Amino acid sequence: MEDIQGRAEEIIYLTGKSGNSIPVQPNFFHKILERVPIGGWQIVQEPDNSIKILVAKPDNSFEKANLIKSMADELEKLGVNKPFVKVELVESFNRTAIGKTYLIKALR
């Protein structure tokens, strides 16, 4: 075993430059978002090969444009074709019936 990649349901697959499917592991998002001055985040995969980052409790120094550019640049380095990233500020995250909040909501 090389390393732990995360649960399969947390892997987002985006279209690559050659039309192939690029798996984006949970650790990819953690590495980027743990450096951003926000209180919480959630990644939501959209059906149009884009991702939406839900952001809660941003610090005054938070800049939405910087996060979009940083995430898109890193996705492009992975080989994702024209990554489209949206950021939405939210008060809180939706919870499951048992009260859990998912950090990553991949399309099934």
Which residues constitute the domain of residue 100? 8-105
Provide the 10 A C-beta neighbour count for residue 45.
Answer: 19
- The reply to whether 1 falls in a domain is no
What's the rounded Cα separation, in Å, for the pair 29 and 106? 13
- The reply to whether 91 falls in a domain is yes
- The reply to whether 81 falls in a domain is yes
- The reply to whether 2 falls in a domain is no
Q: Give the pLDDT of residue 102.
A: 84
Q: What is the pLDDT of residues 5-30, one digit of tens each?
A: 445 568 999 999 999 999 999 999 99
- The reply to whether 49 falls in a domain is yes
Q: What is the pLDDT of residues 41-57, one digit of tens each?
A: 999 999 888 999 999 99
Question: Does the pLDDT value for residue 98 go beyond 90?
Answer: no
Question: Does the pLDDT value for residue 4 go beyond 50?
Answer: no
- The reply to whether 37 falls in a domain is yes
Q: What is the CATH number of the domain that holds 94?
A: 3.30.300.30
What's the rounded Cα separation, in Å, for the pair 40 and 42? 7
Domains held by the chain: number = 1
